[in-house]
Every structure is written in structure tokens, then in C-alpha cells.
Structure 1
Amino acid sequence: MFPKPKPVLVPNTYAYESEPMVKATGFREYDARWLFGKEINLMGIQALGMGLGALITELGVKQEVVTGHDFRGYSASIKYALISGLQAAGCRVHDIGLAMTPMAYFAQFELDVPCVAMVTASHNDNGWTGVKMGANRPLTFGPDEMTRLKEIVLNAEFKNKAGGSYQFHENFPARYIADLTRRPKLKRKLKAVVACGNGTAGAFAPQVMEAIGCEVVPLDTELDHTFPKYNPNPEDMEMLHAIRDAVLKHKADVGLGFDGDGDRCGVVDNTGEEIFADKVGVMLARDMSAIHKDAQFVVDVKSTGLFVTDPVLQKQGAKIDYWKTGHSYMKRRTHEMGALAGFEKSGHFFFNRPYGRGYDDGLVSAIAVCDMLDRAPAKSMADLKNALPKTWSSPTMSPHCADEAKYGVVDSVVKHFEGLQKRGEKVAGQKIRDLVTVNGVRVTVEDGSWGLVRASSNKPELVVVVESPVAEQRMRDMFEAMDSVLRTHPEVGEYNQKI
């Protein structure tokens, strides 16, 4: 009998080394994230593996699981604790070793394995760990599966079964790289800065981009799990500014930045200006809908309003569906609608055939950007960006808010703006034109300026994004309007970055 996990254990004690610790808040909407050592221990990870194996059985899926780990100093030990739990539950485990998250998704198809459990904290700071899971490729778990997994683990509803086994797939990255690069080379000679923040993508991204025909300028591609320069997150301005400096120094055509587990890509143009991922999505949607008639796209609620107002997309018959933020939500919606692609402001892009297999892969996104430039040989990345209607957009801004409090705060903010709309009151000096409450609240006023507040799905934070098609000051007005409501809640702390 495996012991029932405890929510808190003190490190460096007999209990900590003898019992599983699993904090309940680590089970998030569509994956799992904990501070390793403070919120979960290795026996807790083992319990997670046993619980995942039990859930796979419940779902009626064959008990075979692909697993891999990202480049952090503790990820391999976490993976092996997870594997021991999966094996105890009777699972056959296919280990692909050090990998990017999309490599694990690819392995589900390449090895014909139904389930995945990728050990990664994605772009979270060092100290965090987590697991991205799925049992129906190319999809990953949503709230229903995560809620049931939480119940199984915290209540120790484990089912030890014989038959668990392990197979290590040697040199698996070569198969992934071959799959991406088995294609015609670019006709246009592109010089690309490839930035990896010393994260996992550094082992793979430069050779993939070189193989498709790019002249690669590597930036922080050496693997170093201390992340000495900056956290590998292409939404953070520190990483984007480092890419900018390299683009300008080397006179590159484009800068491509990858997050810690390689499922997202950030873009900097040839003038050194960062292009937020939602605008990159609009550019790619223009390119793809010119080739594919009446193309359907899914975009998240954090994304620019240009997806519905851009005259080029309208002329080309592109159809747009705004949906919940989060890689699992977006992946599922893109799959269910049979959309050509899904675009998320964070940089998670989901390409269905002929571009991809439906999962998020930063290298597939980077290749799509290069192909777009290849199809426009007379235009630079800045030309393509400047051809979009002008809007003023903020980066993603995240004020601290405890996991236990953030959903209650967002519910209150939603009710506040619903009340303003009902009473006909103004926000930032204008009446509310539209409210979208599929994921937090997105408030659009009469001139098209909008602001979003939602709860982060994977960190103790809220998410705030604002945009205006009118002027920078109107963008700032919307931020003040959203922030003033948040400041009425003492649970909301400081921002990680602000406009």
C-alpha cells in the first residue's frame, strides 16, 4: 500500500524522505506545476506517476506512455521517479531522454504510443517542475482529466498492476530532426538569430534551422540549467531585447527565440523590433489564407483584434474563432474545428496538416515564419509587419496573485464589468461595446480599444493584456482602467513587467 500524499512536509526530516508530499494547487487547469522540494518531493512525483497510470486505465486507453525531460538540474531525477510510478501502475514506458516537449508529442506518432508525460516546467523560473500529459494524441489533458488525476493522487486511489516495463529509445532526437528537415530548402538566403536562453532548444534548434537553409547566428544556445543570462521565455522583454541586439549586430533578417521546452517561438524583425506572437499569427494567417481558401483559424482571448478587423484576412475569407487561453484548450479547439492553425499570444501555435500534426512546436512555428519570408522574396520581416493595420499592444503583464485567491479575484472582476455594461457606464471614457467572458473578461469599448484580465493557468499570477487600434495613449488608458479595478483587491501584488 502506497501512503496517502501530505500537502506539506518539512525538508531534511524523516517524514520528508519517507512519505509523498503533493500540494493540491500544483494540479492546474491543463498540466501540473510545483516548486520542487517545497510543494512536491520525489515520492510525490512517484505518486503522480501511479495516479497517471490509474487514470489512463480509467480512460480505457492502452497503458503505453512516452516520457522525456527538459534541461534543468533536477528534471532527470523527477522523470525517473515518475517512471517508477508509471511502471508500478502497469504502464510500458518509452523514454526518449533529454527532449523538447514537441519532441515527446512527435514520439507519440512516431512510436505509435497513445499517452505522453513530459517532465518540464516550460518557461517557469528555476525551482519549478511539472508534467505535460495527454492520452489522446495530439491533445493534452484539460480540466476534467486534471481534476480526476488530482482526486486519484490526493486520495491515493492507486492500482498496482504487474506488467510495467521500460524502453529507452536511443538517439531519438535524430528522428525528430529528420522529420522536420525532410523538405525542400529555402530558396531565399535568410540569416536568422536563433536564441534559446540556454534552455533545452539549444541542443536542437540551430541544426534544424541550418538544415532548412538558414544562415544561423546562435545566441545562448549552450545548455546551462542555471539560465545565466535570462529565463528562456520569448514573452519576457529581457530575452527579446537580447535577440534585438544580436539581430542588429549581425544584420540578420529575423530573430527567433525559443522557450525552455521548445514549444513556443518569439520573433524579432530585421530592425530589431519585437513582434508580439499574436501579430506574428496575423501575418501567418495572411500568408496561409492566401494559399488555402476560406481558412479557419482559432485565436486566444489575449490576442489582437486584428484577426477580425484586418482587411486582407477579410478579403481572403479567413474565419476566426476566439477561444480560451492555454495550450490544451487551444489545441483541442483547433483539432475539433479542423482549423488550419491556432494562434496564442504566448507563442503557442498549433498547425494542422499540411503544416503540422496539431500540437504546438516552436520549431514548426519558426519554419512557418521562414517559409512566409521565402514566399515574399522582395519583403523584409519589418515590411510584412508594417503592412498590418497599426495597433498599440502591451506585452503580457502578470501581477502576483496566490493560486488560492486568483480565480475568486477574476470572478469578481468579471462581475464588475458585467455590472458596468448593464448600467451603461463607461470604461476609459467610453461605453462597453463587447464583453467576452469565455476566459476571464475581455472588455472592448467603442473605439475598439480592449483590455483583458484572466487567471494564469500555470503560475500564481493574473494575466493582463491591453491593445488599442487608435493611439498609444488609449492603450495606456485601458491599462489604467483594468489596473484600477485590480487595485481594489489586496490579494493582487506587483507586476512582473508593465507598460
Structure 2
Amino acid sequence: MFPLPVAQLLPNTPEFESHPMVKPTGFREYDARWLFEKEINLMGIQALGMGVATLMHERGTRPDIVVGHDFRSYSASIKMALITGLMAGGVRVHDIGLALSPMAYFAQFALDVPAVAMVTASHNDNGWTGVKMGIDRPLTFGPDEMTRLKELVLTATFKPAEGGAYRFVENFADVYIRDLTDRAKLSRPIKVVAACGNGTAGAFAPKVLEALGAEVVPLDCELDHSFPRYNPNPEDMKMLHALRDKVLEVGAEVGLGFDGDGDRCGVVDNEGEEIFADKVGVMLARDLSALHPESRFVVDVKSTGLFATDPVLQANGAVTEYWKTGHSYMKRRVNELGALVGFEKSGHYFFNGPIGRGYDDGLVSAIAVLDMLDRNPDRSMADLRRALPKTWGSPTMSPHCDDEIKYQVVDRVIARFQEMQARGERLAGQAISDLVTVNGVRVVSEDGTWGLVRASSNKPELVVVVESPASEARLKEMFHAVDAVLRENPEVGAYNQTI
């Protein structure tokens, strides 16, 4: 009988080494993330593995799973504890070693394995760990699976089973790289800065881009789990500024920035302009809908309104649906609709066939950007950016809010905006024309300026995004109006970045 997990134990004690510790809030909407040794210990990770194995048997999934880990000092040990739990639950483990998240998703197809458990905290600060899981490729867990997994783990409702086994898949990185590069080379050596923030992508991205014929200038591609310069997060302005400076220094045509586990890509153009990922999505949608008329796209509610109003997309017959933020939600919706691509403001892009396999891969996104430039030899990345209708948008801004209260705060904010709309109150000087509540609340004013508030799915934070098609002044007015509503809730703390 495996011990019942507890929420808190003191490190460096016999109890910490003898009992599983699992803080319940680590089970997020579609993956799991904890501060290692503060919110979960190795026995807690083992319990997680046993829970995943039990869930696989409950759902009738063939008991084979791909596992991999990112480049953090503790990730390999966490992966081995997870493997122990999976094997105790009767699952055959296929270990691909050091990997990007999309490399693990690819392994499900290449090795014909139905399930995946990738040990990574993505772009979270050092000290965090987590697992991205799925048992039905190319999908990852959604709220239903995470709720059941949480119940299994916290109640230790495990079902030990025979047949658990382990194999290490040698040189799988070569198979992944070959899959991405076994295609026609670029027609010209596009000069690109590849920034990896000292994260795991540094072991893969430069090789892939060079194999495609790009002239690659690496930036912070040495693996260093302390992330000495900045967090590998292409939504973080510090990373984008470093990428901008290098692009301008070397005269590159484009800068590509990859997050910690390689499933996202950020872009800086040849003039040093940091293009938020939703705007890059519009540029790619224009390019791809010209090749595939009447394409269907899915975008998240944090993304620019241009997907619905852009005249080029309309002329190409493109149809776009706004959907919930989150890689699991987006992946499922893209799969359900058979959309060509799903675009998320965070930089998760989900390319379906003939471009991808439906999961998010920052290298596939980077290749799509290079192909777009290759198809437009007379237009720079800046030219393509300027061709979009002008809007003023914010980065993703995240004020602190504890996991235990953040969803309640969002519910209060939704109710407050609904009350304002019902009373005819004005927000930032204009009437509220629409409230979109598919994921948090997107409040839209008469001139199309909007602000979004939602709970972060993977950190103790809220998420705030604003955009205006009218002016930068209206952008700032909307931000201050939305922030004023947030400040009615004392649980909301300081932002990580603001405009």
C-alpha cells in the first residue's frame, strides 16, 4: 500500500524522505507544475506516475508511454521517480532522454506509443518542475483528465499492475531532427538569430535551422539551468529586447526566440521590432491562406482582433474562431475542427497536416516563418509586419494572485463588468459593447479597444492583455480602466511587466 500524499513536509527530515508530498494546487487545468521540494518531493512524483498509470488503465489506453525531460538540474531525477511510479502501475516506459516537449509529442507518432509524460516546467523560473501529459495523441490532458488524476493521486487510489517495463531509446534526437529537416532547403541562406535563453532548445534549434540552409547566429544557446541572462520566455520583454539587440548588431533578417521546452517561438523583425506572436500569426495566416484558400484557423481569446477583420484573410476566404487560451484547449479545438493552424498569443502554434501533426512545436513555427520569408524574397519581415492593419497591443502582463484564490477573483471581475454593462456604465470613457466570457472575460468598447482578464493556467498569476485599433492612448486608457477593476480585489499583486 502506497502512503497517502500530504500537502506539506519539511525538507531534510525523515518524513520528507519517507512520505509523498503533493500540494493540490499543482494540478493545473491541463498540466501539472510545482516548486520542487517546496510543493512536491520525489515520492510525490512517484505517486503522480502511479496515478497516470491508473488513469491509463481506467481509460483503456494501451500501457505504453513516452517520457522525456528538460535541462534543469533536477529534471532527470524527477523523470526517474515518475518512471518508477509508471512501471509500478504496469506501464511500459519509452525514455527518449533530454528532449523538447514537441520532441516527446513526435515520439508518440514515431514510436507508435499512445501516451506521453514530459518532465518540464517550460518557461517557469528555476525551481519549478512539472509534467505535460497525454494519453490520446496528439492531445494533452484537459480539465477532465486533470481532475481525475488529482483525485487518484491525492487519495492514493492506485492499482498496481504487472507488466511494467523500461527501455531507453538511443539517439532519438537525431530521428526528431531528421523529421524536421528531410525536406527542400531554403532557396537562400536567410540570416537568423536563434535565441534560446540557455534553455533546452539550445541543444536543437541551431542544428535544425542550419540544416535547412539558414545562416544561424546563436544567442544564449549554451545550456544553463540557472538561466543567467533572462528566463527563456518569448513573451518576456527582457528576452525580446536581447533578441532585438542581436538582430540589429548582426544585420539579421529575423530573430527567433524559443522558450524553455521548445514548444513556442517569438519573433523580432529585421528592424528590431518585437512582433507579438498573435500578429505573427496573422502574417502566417495570410501566407498560408493564399496557399490553402478557405482555410480554417483557431485563435485564443488573448489574440488580436485582426484575425476577424483583416481584409486579406477575408479575401482568401479564411474562417477564424476565437477559443480558450491554453495549449490543451487549443490543441483539442484545432483537432475537432480540422483547422489548418491554431494560433495562441503566447506563441503556441498548432499546425495540422500538411504542415504538422496537430501539436505545438516552436521549431515547426520557426520553419513556417522562414518559409514565409523564402516565399517573399522582395519583402522583409518588417515589410510584412507593416502590411498588417495598424493596432496597438500589449505584451501579456501577469499580476500575482495565489492559486487558491485566482479563479474566484476572475469570477468577481466578470461579475463586475457584467454589472457595469447592465447599468450602462462607461469603461475608459466608452460604453461596453461586448463581453466575451469563454475564458475569463474580454471586455470590448465601442471603438474596438478591448481588455482581457483571465487566470493563468500554470502559475499563481492572473493574465491581462489589451489592444486598440484606435490609438496607443486608447490602449493605455483601457489598461488603466481594467487595472482599476482588478485593484478592487486586494488579493491581486504586482505585475511582472506593464505598458
Q: Give me the TM-score of the superposition, normalised by structure 1.
A: 1.00
1:245 aligns with 2:257: no
Report the equivalent of 1:389.
389
CA distance in 2, matches of 1:299, 1:422: 28
CA distance in 2, matches of 1:63, 1:157: 18
CA distance in 2, matches of 1:14, 1:174: 43
1:454 aligns with 2:461: no
- Written as runs of structure 1 = structure 2, the 5 A alignment for 1:56-95 is 56-95=56-95
Which one is further off, 260-269 or 307-316?
307-316
Aligned-partner residue type, residue 437 of structure 1: T
User: Identity of paired residues, percent?
Assistant: 75
- Structure 1: tracts of 5 or more residues without a match: none
1:196 aligns with 2:185: no
Report the equivalent of 1:45.
45
Deviations 1:368-397 (A, max 9, x none): 000000111100000000000000000000
Pairwise CA distance, 1:162: 1.2
1:410 aligns with 2:424: no
Aligned-partner residue type, residue 62 of structure 1: R
Report the equivalent of 2:13.
13
Pairwise CA distance, 1:171: 0.4
SS state of the match for residue 398, structure 1?
coil
CA distance in 1, matches of 2:381, 2:245: 16
CA distance in 1, matches of 2:189, 2:44: 50
CA distance in 2, matches of 1:370, 1:425: 47
Report the equivalent of 1:103.
103
Deviations 1:38-75 (A, max 9, x none): 00000000000000000010111001000000000000
CA distance in 2, matches of 1:229, 1:164: 42
SS state of the match for residue 405, structure 2?
helix
Deviations 1:248-272 (A, max 9, x none): 0100000000000000000000011
Pairwise CA distance, 1:189: 2.4
Aligned-partner residue type, residue 283 of structure 1: M
- Written as runs of structure 1 = structure 2, the 5 A alignment for 1:268-347 is 268-347=268-347
Aligned-partner residue type, residue 7 of structure 2: P
- Structure 2: tracts of 5 or more residues without a match: none
Report the equivalent of 1:478.
478
CA RMSD of aligned residues (A): 0.5
CA distance in 1, matches of 2:63, 2:403: 32
Pairwise CA distance, 1:433: 1.4
Pairwise CA distance, 1:400: 0.1
Pairwise CA distance, 1:405: 0.6
SS state of the match for residue 131, structure 1?
strand
SS state of the match for residue 404, structure 2?
helix
CA distance in 2, matches of 1:305, 1:434: 13
Pairwise CA distance, 1:188: 2.7
Question: After TM superposition, what 4+ stretches of structure 1 lie above 4 angstroms from structure 2?
Answer: none
CA distance in 2, matches of 1:226, 1:479: 33
Pairwise CA distance, 1:421: 1.4
CA distance in 2, matches of 1:434, 1:375: 39
Pairwise CA distance, 1:420: 1.4
Aligned-partner residue type, residue 309 of structure 1: T
Aligned-partner residue type, residue 40 of structure 2: I
CA distance in 2, matches of 1:18, 1:318: 57
CA distance in 1, matches of 2:109, 2:181: 17
Report the equivalent of 2:145.
145
Deviations 1:123-178 (A, max 9, x none): 00000000000000000000000000000000000011111000100000000000
Deviations 1:424-478 (A, max 9, x none): 2211111111111000000111100000000000000000000000100000000
1:266 aligns with 2:266: yes
CA distance in 1, matches of 2:495, 2:101: 28
SS state of the match for residue 207, structure 2?
helix
SS state of the match for residue 302, structure 1?
coil
1:356 aligns with 2:356: yes
